[in-house]
Structure 1
Amino acid sequence: MKQLQISEALFVKLVKFFYSEEIGYDDEELFDLEREIKKELQKKLDRISMRSYYTKYKTAETEQECEEARKKYLDEKGVPESFQW
């Protein structure tokens, strides 16, 4: 299994979240922290997906697989179809 890196800021937020009782956060602070963590984890997941599409595009064995991966990558990046080659 591959290893992933997360930012130091995300790591600190995760620690604060899981040790919130010891730290003494109230419900509002905990809610804000949870929302921030989810947002950052979603961004990380999106970056992983984009990297996967790009890698598939560069290493595809067939032209069809390459084209499908390229299309997914560009669609996820938000490149309009009129700008795609």
Structure 2
Amino acid sequence: MKQLRISEQLFMELVKFHLLDMEENLPSIKQGLEAKLDALVMRDLYSKYKTAPTEEKREQARKEYLDRRGVSEKFRW
């Protein structure tokens, strides 16, 4: 099983939410977890791009990565 790293601040907010039932940090917890999930997806797409078995799959992963990154078609090679 892979391990993930999160910031100490996010960890403390999660602890307060789950153990102390403090719900005022819920929006920042949600934002932090969404940011982490986006980073994981981007890393996965980049890895697929670099390790794709065929040129077609590599190009598909590259396009998806650049689309999610928000890179304009004008700036792509």
Give the TM-score of the pair, scaled to structure 1.
0.85
1:1-85 aligned within 5 A: 1-21=1-21, 25=22, 30=23, 32-85=24-77
SS in structure 2 opposite 1:73? helix
- TM-superposed deviation, 1:53: 0.5
Aligned residues: 77
Structure 2, gaps ≥5 residues long:
none
Q: Deviations over 1:22-80 (max 9, x none)?
A: xxx5xxxx2x4111100000000000000000000000010001001100111111000
What's the % identity of the aligned pairs?
A: 53
Q: What is the alpha-carbon root mean square deviation over aligned residues?
A: 1.1
Higher helix share: 1
- TM-superposed deviation, 1:3: 1.1
Structure 1, gaps ≥5 residues long:
none
